[in-house]
Structure 1
Amino acid sequence: MAQVNQFLPVTEDVAWVRVEETAQVGRARRAATALAEQLGFPGARVAEIGLAVTEIGTNLLKHAREGQVLVRSLRAVDQAAVEVLSLDSGPGIPDVDLALLDGESSTGTLGLGMGAVARAADTCALSSSPRGTALVARFHPRRGPLSDIPDDTASGVTRAIGGEEECGDAWAVRRDADRLVLMMCDGSGHGPLAASASREAVRVFRNHPSTSPQDLVTHLHAALRGTRGGAVAVAELDLAARTARFCGLGNIAASVLTADRKQGMVSAPGVAGYQARVIRTFDYPLPEGAVVVLHSDGLTERWGPDPDLLSGPPLLAAAALLRDAGVRRDDAGVLVAKT
């Protein structure tokens, strides 16, 4: 039986690094090792992470277009992990299984290949198509599973608008027995004040007793008074009854995806913390194997069902969607849940 009231770890997207020249490989490595040191990782593990990120960055330089590396932290009650996400815009990897074998390197970058990354990481996943490749590697302080960091059923990714250090979008997830509860907030505007509003929404969501989506959004609306406010949405996925209950206020887009259909969910107009004439929950069917996506208006809504979104880890699906649909000049956030 699933644990009751179990939160996924608090995730912080620490640094996005565009990798288009050799010096930027070093920047990505330094961002990852600095985070590992900050989280108290042993020196030998920090060095392993540095080598793995160097291999990731070098592969982007040699093989990919528009390569990016995201370094992020996962913090649970007593434990933490470093996650490194690699994202590019093609041309893709013909044989993903071969690429993850130790010693495979088509250009001899470090003589190790992506298999060295998989070997150094505690978990590693890779998806690839002609549109691009996404890879995520998670590193624990010491090898082995962490009890406070469960397997992912939902994950998201955020990216600040160019020129800003902090992203105004944020998300959180809670598991309650057979329910998965998702929350996304897009703080109004950009920069530190928008980020502060979204952090407050995450804090309130995590501390408020689990109730209906409508009650949670009502509570978030009240709690964001005194902040810059923003758009908020809560989706409750009942995995036993196979229903999705959704309540949104403002421009958070939400969809239930199946192999051949994208069912949009309705948000009411308004700004949490300022204006909410109507706060209402809508119910939608949740077919077996469906995927639920929430995203801010930093992404265009002109995307449809895609095999990358319906298979593989939620983080890779979120990253692929950010790459393909995050074309607006704005903060961007995506949250993906597998049911």
Structure 2
Amino acid sequence: MDNTFSSYKIEDRSLIAFIKREIHNLALQLGFSPHRAAETDIIVAELTSNLIKYADGGELLYRGTQMQGRNEIEIFCLDNGVGIDNVVKIMSDGYSTSNTLGHGLGSIKRLSNDFQIYSMKGWGTVQYVKICEKADMDIIPNPAGFNYSALSVNYPGENVCGDGYYIKQSANGFKIFVGDGLGHGVNAHEAVQLGIKAFQRSTAEDSIEILRDIHEGVKKSRGLVATVACVDYKSQNWNICGIGNINTRIFRGLENKTYSPYNGILGLNIPRTINSTIVPYLKHQIIVMHSDGLRTRWNLNDMTSIIKQSPHVIASSLYKDNMRGTDDATVLVGKIT
């Protein structure tokens, strides 16, 4: 199943019924029972109506996933409204700011398998919801030591995404690929998917050699840009290298550093001499990798306590504030725990 998110800008109530029907049908396609699909309807209704009532609109992103025999729907709800002063208080059933029954956020939390919310006064709010096919399903944790989230969205009007990402796990460490096919649409999608397949096939341990394998594997496509970040548990180091404009940063507390890629296009032309960057792999680091569908002038430290939040919240907050809307967009956030 495609791992990109469908995106809808919600500015008035005219789209709400359509979005509810789309997600309801997706739930049934994924094997949700009619009762669970109805509970999903309630969650979507609360999220979308709150966007209209309290934020004058916003954006809803959703996708269905099938992983390890489990069927799930993930939803991000983003707005630039006035924000929430006291998230804990407003989460309580019975609390209302509009003389209603006050079951909104409390019902979303109760009916979903995972619900996360982050808000700042004057900045807006991001919400993340995961709905499993069964209400009592536990959330499968990411592999020990690395918790991540990724968000990919098509260029407006396109049916496929020219960006892509993939993570390979092993007993010795893990490897991250983030790529962006040139342009957008079907040909860009083909290029990045060939890049992912070459990344999956590569047996190299060094990011440079992996990029060379990708370069050879995508020569029949229009080409792509990509960065590969590898972690080796034995050496306790990151090994990072990129060709083209994938932005890569590592944060730890107030410290952060951007790792500059080389000029070039995988599949067409890459430098003869390439060096990777070796960085210590440390607890509490946050790695952010994103395509040029997002602006690069951002700093996590500008958002209050954001580094304490989950990768879902961090990724969606960066997307909300920095989405250009002129290309496909992908942002991947990983936390070392």
Could you tell me the TM-score, scaled by structure 1's length?
A: 0.89
One of 29, 33, 37 as aligned partner of 1:46 = 37
Number of equivalenced pairs: 330
Q: State whether structure 2 residue 142 is matched by structure 1 residue 145.
A: no
Structure-to-structure mapping, 1:157-176, within 5 angstroms: 157-176=151-170
Q: CA deviation at 1:128?
A: 1.0
Structure-to-structure mapping, 1:324-339, within 5 angstroms: 324-327=321-324, 329-339=326-336
| Superposition RMSD in Å | 2.3
One of 27, 30, 41 as aligned partner of 1:36 = 27
Q: CA deviation at 1:38?
A: 1.7
Contact in 2 for aligned 1:201/1:224 (Cα 8 Å): yes
The match for 1:7 is none
Q: CA deviation at 1:305?
A: 3.1
Q: CA deviation at 1:181?
A: 2.1
One of 79, 85, 92 as aligned partner of 2:76 = 85
Could you tell me the TM-score, scaled by structure 2's length?
A: 0.89
Paired with 1:43 and 1:301, the residues of 2 have a C-alpha distance of 43
| 119 and 146 in structure 1: CA distance in 2 versus 1, 3 angstrom threshold | closer
Q: CA deviation at 1:261?
A: 2.4
| 193 and 119 in structure 1: CA distance in 2 versus 1, 3 angstrom threshold | same
Tell me which structure has the larger Cα radius of gyration: 2
Unaligned runs of 5+ in 2: none
The match for 2:317 is 320
Unaligned runs of 5+ in 1: 1-9
Q: Deviations over 1:40-75 (max 9, x none)?
A: 211111111111111100011111144111011222
Paired with 1:51 and 1:24, the residues of 2 have a C-alpha distance of 16
Letter in 2 for 1:315: H
| 53 and 106 in structure 1: CA distance in 2 versus 1, 3 angstrom threshold | same
One of 147, 166, 175 as aligned partner of 1:181 = 175
Could you tell which deviates more after superposition, 28-37 or 291-300?
A: 28-37
Contact in 1 for aligned 2:149/2:332 (Cα 8 Å): yes
Could you tell which deviates more after superposition, 97-106 or 264-273?
A: 97-106
Contact in 1 for aligned 2:161/2:328 (Cα 8 Å): yes
The match for 2:264 is 270
Identity of paired residues, percent?
27
| 187 and 146 in structure 1: CA distance in 2 versus 1, 3 angstrom threshold | farther
One of 269, 286, 300 as aligned partner of 2:295 = 300
Q: Secondary structure at the match of 2:4?
A: strand
One of 202, 208, 212 as aligned partner of 1:214 = 208
Q: CA deviation at 1:239?
A: 5.9
The match for 1:105 is 96
The match for 1:285 is 280
Paired with 2:87 and 2:139, the residues of 1 have a C-alpha distance of 29
The match for 2:308 is 311
